[in-house]
């Protein structure tokens, strides 16, 4: 597979449970070639381990490629797949996140993201929001997930979203309320809105959104985005880490494949949340009650109905 390119080498992270080196595997998967992509993942995991990284994160559908169309059943993996077993085994001593097509026991297919740690499968997130507009057709290929759940790791509490999930603020809100200290946003975002001389417009849109979430929820937000070309699409990469409060802690190059590492300090979560009361002052009881009211009202008046039903009188 060639030599793995490692950036931001520097000194190893101190042996603290709260300070660590994070690696981002900004890959260009071979479309439909799980075997080749698996070897690339294993090579990068070895390189991340050599760099003393404690977590390595890959993009959305990193084992399969994105523009799969009728290849979806051919690349799908289930709980007995040797490829998954090899990646789980490779996570001994560190955490590994990667994207794949998951086949359920009743033969539905999901755009899924797995997180493994110390030789065990810790969590699988099934992408909830499937874009089916413009150049996207995921709703015709996959079933939608039904949960957003944070989960505990030896480093801290994590949450996962996949690409379109980010553009629904309720996704991030739920994970923050579930205690996530870091939210991993795995993506296969193509270039949009720029010519050859300009930065793609969606890069700035992504950064703005991730910065907002890190400010509102006082957590790390990590974008793991892919590069490469598929079926007329170019993917921009630019993986990045937003620290609590919106600080851009790390930014990988645009359009360049490689393993990119940075240092993060989990203590930043506590420091930011101590000074900013937004998350701890959230009235979850009001949110739940009002959402139930809205849901009940929509059932009574028709989904998305406007009108004045249920509104209080104006003063």
pLDDT (0 to 100) of residue 307: 47
Q: What is the DSSP letter of 168?
A: S
Quickly name the fold that domain 6-301 has. Answer: Nitrilase/N-carbamoyl-D-aminoacid amidohydrolase (3.60.110)
Q: Domain segments of the chain: what residues?
A: 6-301
**What is the C-alpha to C-alpha distance for residues 48 and 187, in angstroms, rounded to an integer?**
20
pLDDT (0 to 100) of residue 6: 44
**What is the C-alpha to C-alpha distance for residues 209 and 144, in angstroms, rounded to an integer?**
23
pLDDT (0 to 100) of residue 201: 78
pLDDT (0 to 100) of residue 64: 98
Q: Which two tokens stand for residue 209?
A: 């959104």
CA distances from 242 to 56, 155, 170, 194, 263 (A): 16, 17, 19, 24, 12
The model's pTM is 0.90
Taking residue 135's Cβ as centre, other Cβ atoms within 10 Å add up to: 11
Q: Is 57 exposed, middle or buried (0-12, 13-18, 19+ CB in 10 A)?
A: buried
**What is the C-alpha to C-alpha distance for residues 253 and 209, in angstroms, rounded to an integer?**
19
pLDDT (0 to 100) of residue 233: 93
pLDDT (0 to 100) of residue 302: 80
pLDDT (0 to 100) of residue 313: 37
pLDDT (0 to 100) of residue 194: 59
pLDDT (0 to 100) of residue 17: 57
pLDDT (0 to 100) of residue 7: 44
Could you read off the pLDDT tens digit of each residue along the chain, which spans 315 residues? 443 444 443 333 344 457 899 999 999 999 999 999 999 999 999 999 999 999 999 999 999 999 999 999 999 999 999 999 999 999 999 999 999 999 999 999 999 999 999 999 999 999 999 999 999 999 999 999 999 999 999 999 999 999 999 999 999 999 999 999 999 999 999 987 655 546 677 899 999 999 999 999 999 999 999 999 999 999 999 999 999 999 999 999 999 999 999 999 999 999 999 999 999 999 999 999 999 999 999 999 986 544 444 444 333
Strand ranges across the sheet with 220-225 = 151-152, 157-162, 182-187, 220-225, 240-242, 248-251
**What is the C-alpha to C-alpha distance for residues 16 and 21, in angstroms, rounded to an integer?**
10
């Amino acid at each position: 597979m060639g030599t793995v390119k490692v950036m931001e080498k520097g000194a190893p992270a101190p042996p603290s449970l709260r300070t660590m080196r994070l690696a981002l595997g900004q890959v260009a998967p071979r479309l439909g070639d799980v075997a080749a992509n698996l070897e690339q993942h294993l090579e990068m995991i070895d390189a991340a381990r050599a760099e003393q990284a404690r977590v390595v994160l890959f993009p959305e559908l990193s084992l399969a490629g994105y523009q799969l169309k009728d290849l979806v059943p051919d690349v799908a993996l289930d709980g007995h797949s040797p490829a998954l077993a090899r990646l789980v085994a490779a996570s001994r001593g560190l955490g590994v996140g990667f994207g794949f097509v998951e086949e359920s026991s009743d033969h539905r297919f999901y755009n899924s993201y797995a997180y493994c740690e110390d030789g065990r499968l810790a969590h699988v997130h099934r992408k909830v929001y499937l874009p089916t507009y413009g150049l996207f057709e995921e709703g015709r290929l996959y079933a939608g997930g039904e949960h957003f759940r944070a989960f505990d790791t030896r480093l801290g509490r994590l949450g996962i979203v996949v690409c379109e999930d980010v553009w629904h603020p309720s996704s991030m809100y739920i994970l923050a309320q579930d205690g996530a200290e870091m939210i991993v946003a795995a993506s296969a975002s193509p270039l949009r809105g720029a010519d050859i001389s300009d930065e793609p417009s969606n890069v700035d849109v992504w950064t703005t959104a991730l910065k907002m979430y890190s400010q509102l929820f006082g957590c790390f937000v990590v974008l793991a985005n892919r590069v490469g070309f598929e079926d007329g699409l170019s993917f921009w990469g630019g993986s990045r880490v937003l620290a609590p409060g919106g600080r851009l802690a790390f930014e990988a190059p645009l359009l360049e494949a490689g393993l990119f590492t940075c240092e993060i300090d989990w203590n930043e979560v506590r420091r930011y949340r101590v000074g900013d009361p937004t998350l701890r002052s959230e009235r979850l009881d009001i949110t739940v009650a009002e959402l139930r009211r809205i849901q009940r009202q929509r059932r009574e008046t028709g989904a998305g109905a406007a009108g004045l039903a249920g509104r209080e009188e104006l003063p």
